A and B are shown apart, each in its own frame.
Chain A
Amino acid sequence: MTNLFLLQLLNGMQFGILLFLIAAGLTLVFGIMDFVNLAHGVVYMVGAYLVVTFTSLTGSYGLGLLLTLPATLLVGLVLELSVFRRLYERPHLDQVLATFGLVMIITEGVQVIWGAAPLSVPMPELLSGSVPLIGAMRYPVFRLVIIAAGLLTALGLYLVIGHTRIGMRLRAGASNRAMVAALGVDIGKLFTVIFAFGAMLAGFAGAMVAPVLTVDPGMGEQVLILAFVVIVIGGIGSVRGAFAGALLVGLVDTLGRSFGPILLRAVMEPAAAGQAGRVLAPMLVYILMAVILAVRPSGLFGAKT
């Protein structure tokens, strides 16, 4: 039981880290540009598809990953320059509609290029083993690598945002866009950089999970909405909030699915508990969101309104 718990704890952390990589870019775009981007999930999906192609072209997952990063950065740049920059001054409704249109185009476009059938990318040899946990339990190395990569990214973001010049501009832009522009910072260029960088983070997340999950056209949508939940919980615009929210959502979702039925069995018949657990578990994160919003409408780390 403790072993299973530890295992699921690690799985939950891995899922949370993944959500963080997606939510980080999204929350910056939300917070700083006041921009609703529904198309962020498809960039994650494109990252996963690109790593499949690049890996089969180069024969190496590592090289494939290295090529995917600039490629998704480019995807972000193209999207920003062609569509998003025309929408910053528009009402949220226009932003939602235009990015919804992009979701339709890209999701269908991916099926035209790669087909509708799920794809997969082989796990790199070097990282395909597993390490022993307590007793006979083992844990796949690759999932640990995902956790480590995510934590390093979080650390990197913390340093960049908190301790560099561009990070300072970014924070200034978040609190008062007009003032920063008046002080001579090219706010348009700053937006482009943030946007492309956020797209690269999402692409990185997609590329990292490609060997663990199957790559299919629906993969972007589920994480997109969970990333929204993460951002709402953490507070819009707060990367720290996104980190806390992502881990919380990842853990609650994973532990809820495996231990919910077990806990319910203590108060119910096994069959009913199993059924109730299966129904309740996927709803847990949304209930968590509702509870947090009821107490703190602007999220855990959001500015008080």
Chain B
Amino acid sequence: MTRLTLTRAWAATILFAAFAILPMIAQALGDSYLIVIATRILAYAIAALALDLILGYGGMVSFGHAAYLGIGAYAVAILGRAGITDLGAHMLAAIAVAAVFALITGAISLRTRGIYFIMITLAFAQMGYFFFVSLSAYGGDDGVTLNARSTVFGQPLLENNTALYYTALALLIGLYLLAVAITRSRFGRVLTGARENPLRMQAIGFSPFRYQLTAYVISGCMASIAGVMLANQASYVSPSYMDWHRSGELVVMVVFGGIGNLLGAVAGATIALLLEEWLALLTKHWPILFGLILVLVVLYSRDGLSGFFRRNRS
């Protein structure tokens, strides 16, 4: 192990340990809202992690990842109404639908590059948004309130906010380890190679398209799990999960935390959501401040935050 990966392992341990003792702190403070925010942070961290996998390592700027949040959330709502309440079933359904959606839209989007890719992923997410808006059986625009959260082995364990929190944390840690393993594997190296120089990768016998598409599908499936968690946390599902603003926020999280550094995505989700909560306390019109911070960060942060990309742009 090199020193860098060791440092990263330490950082990850500290960050996840901090998350693990948070419910106790919340209990000591008697602040039950803290755990609600923290669960949302964990769910968004899963989605940001998924996005970082393709954005940071694959160089694919997807501006439509909120679609997968929506797919996961609606998997809970639709199966729940059909009487299937098991968390495992919800996640499997979410992953299956997300995989199909990612495979089709990814195959089309990946035929293009750069600006086109950003716009097409955005457009496909919007298509999903309108699909659920017009699904009147599930409340259309207004969404639908869940009767109950997902069950585990037939038990309503997740009705307890702390149990839900730890479930989300376990999923995040598991997916983080999976993502680290993916980036270190041969597959991950080919993916990074395809970002750096697709032509050269092709010349040495790899087909970048296949690797990129596989990564895109994996990322979509991971993000759909975040949707399952979000739906359970809010006990409410609506098309607003797929709003393009939400896709934008996911990209912001990844960038805030530092691109191509999976732990950064977790940190970025934490920073972005806490910033939102804090600004919302200051003023009702907090998006002005958030937007301003965003513009200033992009304009003035040294190395443009994504200097990583610039250096690699041919």
Contacts and interface: CB of A to CB of B under 8 A. Distances in A.
A254 interface: no
A102 B55 CA distance: 22
A114 to B, nearest CB: 13
Interface stretch (A12-20, A200-208, A227-235): A227-235
Contacts of A83: 295, 299
A279 B131 contact: yes
B12 interface: no
B290 A228 contact: no
B68 interface: no
Nearest to A277: B134
B255 A97 contact: yes
Interface string B268-311: 00000000000000000111101111110111000011100110
A91 B304 contact: yes
A290 B108 CA distance: 7
Interface in A70-106: 83, 86-87, 90-94, 96-98, 100-105
A225 B291 contact: no
A281 B131 CA distance: 9
Contact of A286 (B126, B290, B293): B126
B111 A94 contact: no
Interface string A270-305: 000001001101110011011001100110000001
Interface string B235-271: 0000000001100100110010001000000000000
B181 to A, nearest CB: 26
B179 to A, nearest CB: 20
Contact of A228 (B122, B251, B305): B122
B313 A91 contact: yes
A36 interface: yes
Nearest to A228: B119
Contacts of A298: 112, 116
B124 interface: yes
Q: Does more than half of chain B's interface fall in helix, strand or loop, or is it mixed?
A: helix
Contacts of A105: 287-288, 291-292, 295
A104 B120 contact: no
Contact of B123 (A102, A112, A232): A232
A97 B252 contact: yes
A165 B17 CA distance: 65
Given A105-B288, A228-B122, A297-B112, A100 B134 contact: no
A156 interface: no
Most buried by B among A30, A38, A96: A96
Interface residues of A, number: 48
A231 B118 CA distance: 12
Contact of B111 (A107, A229, A279, A297): A297
B115 A236 contact: yes
B133 interface: yes
B127 interface: yes
B119 A232 contact: yes
A293 B108 CA distance: 7
A186 interface: no
A112 B285 contact: yes
A104 to B, nearest CB: 3
A104 B295 CA distance: 10
A220 to B, nearest CB: 12
Contacts of A221: 244
A90 B298 CA distance: 10
16 contacts: A30-B115, A36-B115, A83-B295, A87-B298, A92-B61, A93-B61, A97-B294, A100-B248, A100-B252, A103-B248, A104-B288, A281-B134, A282-B134, A289-B123, A290-B105, A298-B116
